[in-house]
Amino acid sequence: MSVISYILAAITVGGGLAAVLLKNMVHCALAVSLAFAGLALLFLDLDAQFAGFVQILVYVGAVAILVVFAILLTRSSETPKDGGVFSPTWLAGLVVAAAVFAVIGWAVLNSVGGLSYETAVPAVTVQQIGQELMGRYVLPLEIVALLLTVATIGAVIVAMHEKEDAK
C-alpha cells in the first residue's frame, strides 16, 4: 500500500468511527458520507474507476440524501433525553464487534501471503464492463432492474401517508 492508500484508509475509517460515535444524527450522516467518499477514492486507488464513480453516484449522491431525509422526517436529530444515544447493552455489542475484528484480522494476516499476485494494472475500460453487462451478466442485470423497481414501489408504499390514520 502506498502513502496515499494509508491516507484514504484513515479518512474512511475515521468517517466510519465518527458516524458511529457522534451524538448529533446530522453529524453522523455527514460523517458517513465522508466514509462513503473515502471508499470511492479507495476504489479509484485500486484501479476500479467504474466502481469508484458508481460508489460516488449511488452512496454519496443518493443514499446519503436518503439518510438525511429520514433523519429530518423522524426528528431524530434531537438527542434523546434519557440514557444517551447508545443502548444499555453497548458493552456486549462492542465486545462482539472487537471479537469479529480479531478473528478476521487473524485470518487475513495468517492466510493471505500466498494469494497476492503483484499484477500489472488491469486495463479495464467502461466499454468492456458494458459489454460484459450486456453479454454474460445480462440476466443478473435484468434481475437487478426488477429488484430496484420493486424496491422503489415498495419503499413508496411503505412510507406513504395512510388516509385513515390522518383523522
Whole-number Å distance between alpha carbons of 74 and 3: 41
Residue type for position 145 = A
Q: How far is the CB of 16 from other proteins (least distance, A)?
A: 4
Kindly state the cell numbers that stand for 99: 471479537
Close Cβ partners of 141 (under 8 Å, ≥ 6 residues apart): 133, 134
Q: How far is the CB of 167 from other proteins (least distance, A)?
A: 14
Q: Which among 92, 73, 84 is positioned nearest to 24, based on CA atoms?
A: 84
Using the minimum distance from each CB to other proteins, give the nearer residue, 88 or 167: 88
Q: How far is the CB of 118 from other proteins (least distance, A)?
A: 8
Contact 26, 11 (CB under 8 A): no
Q: Which among 39, 29, 32 is positioned nearest to 15, based on CA atoms?
A: 32
Max CA-CA distance within the chain? Answer: 66
Q: How far is the CB of 108 from other proteins (least distance, A)?
A: 4
